[in-house]
Amino acid sequence: MLPENSISRVIEYYLSNKKFADDALKAFNEFFGEQKLKPSLEEGAMAKFTEWFIYDFKLSNGKTPIEDYYEHNPYNISIINLQLYKELQDNVYSLFEIKKIDIGKGMNLLNIRNNKSYYVNEYAATLEAKEGLLLFGRLCFVNGHYELIGSDAYTFSAEMKDDLVKAFKGARLKITPKEIYQSFK
C-alpha cells in the first residue's frame, strides 16, 4: 500500500506552487474544457483530474509532475523514500477485467488491450468487486507487488464487455483518465 500522503504531497506541490500556475491552469482547461475554474460536479471529477495531472500531463518542461518531482525532490525526501516516486513513473492505465477475487487480499486483472494478467494487492476493492466486472484503472508495481493507484476507477458490468473491448482493445490512442472522463461524463 502506498504510504499515506505520498501522492497528495505531489499534488499540493504542483497545484499550489506559483512556479507551476500556468501549467496547472493549462491542465485544468485541457481536462475540463474552458470552464473558468468551475469543474464538473460529477463525484470524483477532481480526483480523476489530479490522477491524470500527476501521471499523464506534461509540464512545460516536458516532464510529468511525478517525473519532475522525482528528479528535483523538492522536499528533500530520503533516497529510500524517493524510490517510490521512481516506481510510480512506470504505470499502466487501461481497461481491465476482474478475473478472480481473493476477498481481503487481492485480485487477478486482465488488461483487455494486450491480454496481460496482473495480480493486484488490494483490500477494499475486493470487498465490493465482482468477477467479470470491467474497470478503467491504473496499476503500478510498487514495493514488490502490483497495486491499483490513482482515483476511483470507472467500472462497467460484464454486459458492456463486448462494446468496450471493441472500442478499446486495438485502439492505438493512449488511454488516460482524461479521455475516459470526457467520454463518460
pLDDT at 159 (0 to 100): 82
pLDDT recorded at residue 35: 57
Under DSSP, is residue 151 helix (H, G, I), strand (E, B) or coil? strand
- Give 108-139 as a DSSP string: EEEETTT--EEEEE-SHHHHH--TT-EEEEEE
Amino acid at 70: Y
Which residue(s) pair with 134 in the sheet?
A: 97, 156
What pLDDT shows up at residue 41?
55
Question: Distance of alpha carbon 15 from its chain centroid, rounded?
Answer: 17
Q: Output the tens digit of pLDDT for each of the chain's 185 residues.
A: 667 788 899 999 999 999 999 999 999 999 988 655 555 556 678 889 999 999 999 999 999 999 999 999 999 999 998 999 999 999 999 999 999 999 999 999 999 888 999 999 988 888 888 999 999 999 999 989 999 998 778 888 878 878 877 777 666 678 899 988 888 76
Residue 48: count of CB within 10 angstroms of its CB: 25
Domain 91-184 fold: OB fold (Dihydrolipoamide Acetyltransferase, E2P) (2.40.50)
**First-to-final CA distance of the chain:** 29
Q: What is the torsional sign of CA 134, 135, 138, 140? A: negative
Cα–Cα distance for residue pair 73/78, rounded to 1 Å: 9
- What pLDDT was estimated at residue 106? 96
3-state secondary structure of 95: strand
> Residue 154 forms beta bridges with which residues?
136
Sorted by where each begins, the domain ranges of the chain are 6-88, 91-184
Beta strands 145-156 and 117-121: pairing type?
A: parallel
